[in-house]
Amino acid sequence: MTARPSVVPGKMFTLITGIGYTGRRVLDRLPRRSVLGLSRSAIETKRQAKIFDLDSATSLPIALPRRYAVIYTVPPKGSPPDDRLQGFVSLLEPTPARFVYISTTGVYGDCEGGTVTEASPVNPSNQRSARRVAAEMLLTAWAEKNDVDLVILRAPGIYGPGRLGIERIQAQLPVLSKASANPGNRVHVDDLAHCCVAALSKRVPAGIYNVGDGDHRSATWFAGEVARQSGLPAPPEISRERAGAEFSPQRLSFLTESRRVDTTKMREVLGVTPRYANPEDGIKASL
């Protein structure tokens, strides 16, 4: 018989599914007795954590409390629909009061440098983003059917300690020229974790929130700033035409989509002002 988790009186229990780069930081921010992390492999943590393989599990490793929330950080697997996500929500009995899902701003596709808000239509231009749209649709239908408050956080590129691309800079791999580079959208991992915690509050309306630092300097600028702060030579710059022949299809897909993600709702409704609104500060902290 699986035991029910211990919960701090007055605190809603939170189940974090996927305690990797982002999930681990969320886990560390929540009260020790009111959170449990599920991970495919063992990790060292002072919080409660259990090994759980989403792709093979037929039950959860705990008995869920009557009232709880879920934060789900796991990417989709395979072609839409997301069988991994579908299998997970089928195990949630009783269903949670609130479900927080980390999606991607890639669902908007290429907007030719235009600004997107949560009201902008989704128009994914690659399979990676199409899988996220399908997952959002799956969760929306499930949440409506089960009376679950669903919060979708659409995140851009996530950076932080160990995720600054320093290895690429050291190898002097090229980046797009400044003239060819598109507007950038990014979020420091600690600010994303802050958004996840804020989204648990019952005072926050269910719905979709774009998250990010609100700074739209390009990926070329970002790589150059990381190099400068690291004392490394700036990476060489190449034209878009040459990048089309040299970059991997996945990297090229990131660089060819162009949009500016509006994060007003994150600040005014979710109630989060990024600590690292200036990515120069985020890079410094990450180093």
Secondary structure (H, E, C), 25-43? HHHHHCCHHHEEEEECCCC
Give pLDDT, residue 244. Answer: 85
> Is the pLDDT at 46 greater than 50, yes or no?
yes
- The token duo for 122 is 């989704």
> Is the pLDDT at 1 greater than 80, yes or no?
no
> Is the pLDDT at 7 greater than 70, yes or no?
no
- The token duo for 250 is 């996945």
Give the pLDDT mean for 266-284.
98
Q: Which residue has the tokens 């869920």?
A: 64
Strand-strand pairing, 98-104 and 68-72: parallel
Count of CB atoms within 10 A of residue 233's CB? 11
Residues 103/150, Cβ–Cβ less than 8 Å: no
Residue 217, Cα to own-chain centre: how many angstroms? 20
* Pick from 74-78, 83-87, 243-247: least confident: 243-247
> Is the pLDDT at 197 greater than 70, yes or no?
yes
Q: pLDDT per residue over 141-175, tens digit each?
A: 999 999 999 999 999 999 999 999 999 999 999 99
- The structure's pTM equals 0.95
**CATH number 3.40.50.720 is the correct assignment for the domain at 13-160+187-215+260-276:** yes
Q: Distance between terminal CA atoms of the chain?
A: 45
